[in-house]
Amino acid sequence: MMLLKALRSSGASRSVLLVRFASSVRSAGKFDYDLVVLGGGSAGLACAKEAVEFGARVLCFDFVKPTPAGTKWGVGGTCVNVGCIPKKLMHQASLLGEAVHEAVAYGWNVNDRDIKPDWKKLIKVVQNHIKSVNWVTRVDLRDKNVEYVNSIGSFVDPHTIEYKEKHGEKKQLTAKYVVVAVGGRPRYPPIKGAIEHGITSDDIFSYEKEPGRTLVVGAGYVGLECACFLKGLGYDPTVMVRSIVLRGFDRQMSEFLAAMMTERGITFLNTTIPKEVERNTDGKLLVKYHNTTTNTDGSDVFDTVLWAIGRKGLIEDLNLGAAGVQTHNDKIIADHTEATSVPHIFAVGDIIYGRPELTPVAILSGRLLARRLFAGSTQLMDYTDVATTVFTPLEYSCVGMSEEMAIERLGAENIEVFHGYYKPTEFFIPQKSVRHCYLKAVAEVSGDQKILGLHYIGPVAGEVIQGFAAALKSGLTVKTLLNTVGIHPTTAEEFTRLSITKRSGVDPTPASCCS
């Protein structure tokens, strides 16, 4: 009866309902489950919860191996436990420290001298929030009748999954469909002392010891975000950069971001790679490194070393070979339908080779896959023009093509870049630097000038770009953008004022905010 009720609630026609019901009855006799999901992160949970809405019998496996530093967490995956959520909370904490000084400028009677956060209290409240989300997630799975097993599931054959129960006994079950959504974990460099003495983003949000002087190795968005919230909280981070900051992002915007961080007192060790980490007798960490540009060696002492050199897919325990699933390095190869080399085995989220490693992408792709498998949908995930944000003090958000990508695909003569600096109104009284408040629109040069990419550095960048992302996916043009009345005074309205092109050579610095 539950199955029929779920099928009816899907809104499908009577004939389609009967076909689905008959199919489910047939699979009920052949397999233990309609769907087994390997991984309890954003992608896996979204797919599992969506599938049960259409009457599927679903089981989800999830297990977190402790980090070398001993950190472990509950259900919900990277985003909830050691990613987006705690990162945003730490980002907010660092911004509030800055806001205390701004409050004085605005007339508040606040003593802003020698203020510093209580690191242990901050970690405690962040972890308390995460644990509450873990609990809500478990309750939600129970209420939706998704079976949850805290164990690693691995393939025995294309339809059979093996796992260990808590007391160590091995069990097996079968599934009509299997979705692999195990995600990834941070990498460690293959150097002496890296694992013994270093931590990663898996550890920093529950790290009981104050980080102090911290070496952040890696200049992707994770490394830059960690360095920035540590600086905002009063610590002393240094960023070690192997080649360039924010590889894969727009180069001009990435360099602006690095310059903003330098202006705020964050040190960069450019074109430098770590060689060894050892612990001194006083407990501090001696890091030896090599500069690949000058071909010279150096060393320095830090309290904490945080590795942010990329992530690896967690495929080693899945026994994918037994199922015939093809991989590329540590990721799974999947087609435009998320199907792997085995038609009834799918992959969603960060484990797919060549797809954006972003939580909203994982969630939507998981839901859409469930609808195709159990609700007769034909809608595919659109991986183009996905917006994203780097949560640094001045945030960087973008959607669509970088300037380099547009030039590569269309040719420099076929694109126009509209750009401008701007001055957030709220920055004037506390005299905050506006040097790196900048935005641009990358567009086609002809016709109504379809916009190919939007880029913004400034306050609450994610909030600004989210709405523009929907407009860009709907075919936004420069003509429409400039015919849109802005909300004044906001920083988002600066996109409606973009009239100066790079090609013109005119200075894009505004003379006035209101004319």
Range 256-283 average pLDDT? 98
Rounded CA separation 23/276 (Å): 58
Q: Assess whether 488 carries a catalytic annotation.
A: yes
pLDDT tens figures, 133-165: 999 999 999 999 999 999 999 999 999 999 999
Range 359-377 average pLDDT? 98
* Residue type, position 150, single letter: N
Decide: residue 97, CB within 10 A, 0-12 exposed, 13-18 middle, 19+ buried. Answer: middle
pLDDT tens figures, 325-352: 999 999 999 999 999 999 999 999 999 9
Residue 88 in marked binding region: yes
CATH label, 33-186+312-375, candidates 3.40.390.10, 3.50.50.60, 2.60.40.3710, 3.40.50.300: 3.50.50.60
User: What pLDDT is attached to residue 28?
Assistant: 55
Residue 513 binned pLDDT confidence (cut-offs 50, 70, 90): confident
Rounded CA separation 466/398 (Å): 9
Range 73-91 average pLDDT? 98
**Sequence-ordered list of residues with C-beta below 8 angstroms from that of 71, at least 6 positions apart, any chain:** 82, 202, 203, 206
Name the region of 343 (left: φ>0; alpha: ψ -120 to 50; beta: rest): alpha
With H, G, I as helix, E, B as strand and everything else as coil, classify residue 216: strand
Residue 11 in marked binding region: no
Q: How many CA atoms lie within 13 A of 472 on its CB side?
A: 24
Rounded CA separation 148/154 (Å): 15
Rounded CA separation 217/224 (Å): 10
Residue 2 binned pLDDT confidence (cut-offs 50, 70, 90): very low
CA angle 479, 483, 487 (to 5 degrees): 135
pLDDT tens figures, 432-459: 999 999 999 999 999 999 999 999 999 9
pLDDT tens figures, 389-409: 999 999 999 999 999 999 999
Question: Residue 171 pLDDT > 80, yes or no?
Answer: yes
Question: Residue 491 pLDDT > 80, yes or no?
Answer: yes
Residue 70 in marked binding region: no
Q: What is the CA radius of gyration of the chain?
A: 25
Q: Order of strands across the sheet with 285-291?
A: 272-279, 285-291, 296-302
Place of tokens 């612990």: 279
Residue 183 in marked binding region: no
DSSP track, 469-482:
HHHHHTT-BHHHHH
Range 48-76 average pLDDT? 98
Give the phi and the psi of residue 282 in degrees, each rounded to 5.
-85, 5
CA dihedral of 103, 106, 110, 112, whole degrees rounded to 10:
60
Burial 171-202 (b: 16+ CB within 10 A, else e): eebbbbbbbbbbbbbbbbbebebbbebbbbbb
Q: Are 353 and 359 in contact (CB under 8 A)?
A: no
Residue 44 in marked binding region: no
Residue 224 in marked binding region: yes
Q: Are 366 and 43 in contact (CB under 8 A)?
A: yes
Neighbour tally for 514: CB within 10 Å:
6
Domain edges within the chain: 33-186+312-375, 187-309, 388-500
With H, G, I as helix, E, B as strand and everything else as coil, classify residue 309: coil
User: What pLDDT is attached to residue 511?
Assistant: 75
Residue 80 in marked binding region: no
Domain 388-500 -> CATH class = alpha beta
User: 14-18, 162-166, 261-265, 394-398: which range is least confident on average?
Assistant: 14-18
Range 234-252 average pLDDT? 98
With H, G, I as helix, E, B as strand and everything else as coil, classify residue 425: helix
Q: Are 459 and 424 in contact (CB under 8 A)?
A: yes
Catalytic residue, chosen from 101, 167, 455, 488, is 488
pLDDT tens figures, 307-317: 999 999 999 99
Structure tokens at 416: 């126009």
pLDDT tens figures, 28-43: 569 999 999 999 999 9
User: What pLDDT is attached to residue 417?
Assistant: 98
33-186+312-375 shares its CATH topology with 388-500: no
Place of tokens 């917006």: 387
DSSP track, 446-515:
STT-BEEEEEEEETTHHHHHHHHHHHHHTT-BHHHHHTSPPPTT-SGGGGGG---BTTTT-----S-S--
User: What pLDDT is attached to residue 11?
Assistant: 53
One-letter-per-residue 3-state SS of 355-402: CCCCHHHHHHHHHHHHHHHHCCCCCCCCCCCCCEEECCCCEEEEEECC
Question: Residue 15 pLDDT > 50, yes or no?
Answer: no
* Residue type, position 364, single letter: L
Question: Residue 512 pLDDT > 80, yes or no?
Answer: no
Question: Residue 464 pLDDT > 50, yes or no?
Answer: yes
Q: What is the CATH number of domain 187-309?
A: 3.50.50.60
Residue 162 in marked binding region: no
Neighbour tally for 6: CB within 10 Å:
20
